[in-house]
């Protein structure tokens, strides 16, 4: 590993490794298990005392002949069979049957089928999307693959990172955004340090970027090819999206079945959902602004220029002090703009659950709030984020378990 990559790994692992020993790791593991047990317990109690907004779970479960053990299991864990979990459970049992199911990517149901629906490892302790990390949703698996790919990328293991990220794009569509790390590394970062206009070096970098990016996109493309083959070749008459300029089944089902599209969600009746999303929207805008404000030259020039003192040592905060976080900031900004303009905005909390920059910034806010020279604003933000994570995550368990948004 070259010295530059070594320095990058140090920045990448600062928040997760600093000050940790075996006792800390054991404490975190213990706390994570307890938090998931509490999630399950709160969800179970809420389903027993609150009438479900949607009774489809009871209808489905009652229509099956079940053993006593299965009945006990269903009563205990029915709270997790909500919203999109229906689709993932059905996909793991029956495969892709209905067109709209192609909005849900296949890696999680394939793993569930192969591992007998084993519970996906939980890597979060406190998160506003805690219920989604526990239910049959792709968030946990996608976060695992995203984080692992990022770690490999910053260790210089680019090919391994690309293949791991390929699995992430086979899990969720936003896995394709990981190509930005390769674009930034080879076509933007340090490009001004290349002596003269060396066409050969730039060409090699471009080819490497294209190949690595294609590997990342491969998971997404394979799934889209499967959909095209199923509905445009085998299925007659062809579905309308088959003749599109870029015939993507995923884009079609998101628009046709879920009404996703530019500003489609901006309706008066959706104001409550925008309110639910507002804390994460504020956190994201503030996190991006806070990083940009530290060095506007750095953010506006894609890191090609920066203040001479912009180093980790010149800042009390590792979040602000290194340009190594630039690709994370740009990715955060792109996803933020996309989510508030094209998506069901209330899902933004779980949409960002796989973005480590969110948790790095919250950690930075909280650590700053504990310092002796912390202002009232610093304390408000630090403690406010902690309260938000706990209350939103806790209330989200009850809402999810009874078929109420956000979902």
Domain boundaries, the chain: 3-134, 139-253, 268-401
pLDDT digits (tens, 9 = 90+) for 157-168: 999 999 999 999
> What confidence score (pLDDT) does residue 188 get?
86
Share of the chain above pLDDT 90, in %: 22
Residue 384's CB is within 10 A of a number of other CB atoms, namely 16
* Chain centroid to CA 230: 28
State both tokens at 361: 């910034």
Q: Find out whether the peptide bond into 237 is cis, omega within 30 degrees of 0.
A: yes
Angle at the Cα of 402 (from 263 to 142), degrees rounded to 5?
60
pLDDT digits (tens, 9 = 90+) for 18-56: 444 556 666 666 777 777 677 767 776 776 676 665 555
> What confidence score (pLDDT) does residue 370 get?
74
> What confidence score (pLDDT) does residue 192 get?
67
- Find the helix packing angle between 271-294 and 356-369, rounded to 10°: 70
Alpha-carbon torsion (280, 282, 286, 289), positive or negative: positive
> What confidence score (pLDDT) does residue 65 get?
58
* Cβ proximity of 392 and 349 under 8 Å: yes
- What's the CA gap between 152 and 273, in Å, rounded? 37
What is the band of 169 on the pLDDT scale with cuts at 50, 70, 90?
very high
Share of the chain above pLDDT 70, in %: 66
pLDDT digits (tens, 9 = 90+) for 321-361: 777 888 999 999 999 999 999 999 988 888 888 888 888 88
> What confidence score (pLDDT) does residue 106 get?
65
Radius of gyration of the chain, Cα coordinates, nearest whole angstrom: 23
Residue spans of alpha helices (H) in 175-318: 179-183, 199-228, 249-258, 271-294, 296-300
Is the overall model pTM greater than 0.85, yes or no? no
- What's the CA gap between 165 and 183, in Å, rounded? 14
- What's the CA gap between 104 and 137, in Å, rounded? 10
* Cβ proximity of 126 and 132 under 8 Å: no
* Cβ proximity of 108 and 88 under 8 Å: yes
- Give the mean pLDDT of the chain: 77
Higher pLDDT, 242 or 191: 242
């Amino acid at each position: 590993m070259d010295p530059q990559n070594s320095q990058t790994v140090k920045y990448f692992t600062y928040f997760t490794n600093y000050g940790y020993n075996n006792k800390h790791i054991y404490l975190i593991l213990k706390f994570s298990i307890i938090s998931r047990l509490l999630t399950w317990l709160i969800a179970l109690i809420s389903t027993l005392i609150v009438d479900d907004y949607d009774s489809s779970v009871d209808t489905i479960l009652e229509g099956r002949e079940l053993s006593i053990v299965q009945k006990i299991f269903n009563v205990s864990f029915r709270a997790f069979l909500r919203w999109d979990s229906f689709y993932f459970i059905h996909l793991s049992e029956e495969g892709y049957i209905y067109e709209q199911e192609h909005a849900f990517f296949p890696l999680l149901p394939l793993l569930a089928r192969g591992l007998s629906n084993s519970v996906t490892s939980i890597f979060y302790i406190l998160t506003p999307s805690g219920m989604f990390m526990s239910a049959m949703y792709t968030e946990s698996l996608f976060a695992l693959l995203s984080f692992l790919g990022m770690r490999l990328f910053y260790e210089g293991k680019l090919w391994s990172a690309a293949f791991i990220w390929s699995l992430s794009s086979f899990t969720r569509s936003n896995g394709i955004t990981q190509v930005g790390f390769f674009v930034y590394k080879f076509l933007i970062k340090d490009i001004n340090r290349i002596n003269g206009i060396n066409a050969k070096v730039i060409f090699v970098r471009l080819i490497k970027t294209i190949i690595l990016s294609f590997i990342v996109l491969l998971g997404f493309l394979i799934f889209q090819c499967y959909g095209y083959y199923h509905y445009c070749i085998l299925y007659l008459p062809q579905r309308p999206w088959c003749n599109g300029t870029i015939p993507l089944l995923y884009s079609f089902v998101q628009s046709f079945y879920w009404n996703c599209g530019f500003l489609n969600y901006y309706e008066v009746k959706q104001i409550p959902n925008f309110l639910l999303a507002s804390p994460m929207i504020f956190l994201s805008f503030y996190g991006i602004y806070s990083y940009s404000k530290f060095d506007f030259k750095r953010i506006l020039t894609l890191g090609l220029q920066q203040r001479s003192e912009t180093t980790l040592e010149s800042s009390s905060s590792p979040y602000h002090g290194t340009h190594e976080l630039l690709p994370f900031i740009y990715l955060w900004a792109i996803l933020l703009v996309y989510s508030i303009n094209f998506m069901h905005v209330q899902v933004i909390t779980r949409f960002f659950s796989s973005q480590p920059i969110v948790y790095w910034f919250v950690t930075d806010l909280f650590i700053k709030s504990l310092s002796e020279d912390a202002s009232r604003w610093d304390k408000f933000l630090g403690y406010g984020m902690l309260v938000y994570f706990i209350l939103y995550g806790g209330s989200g368990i009850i809402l999810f378990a009874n078929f109420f948004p956000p979902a």
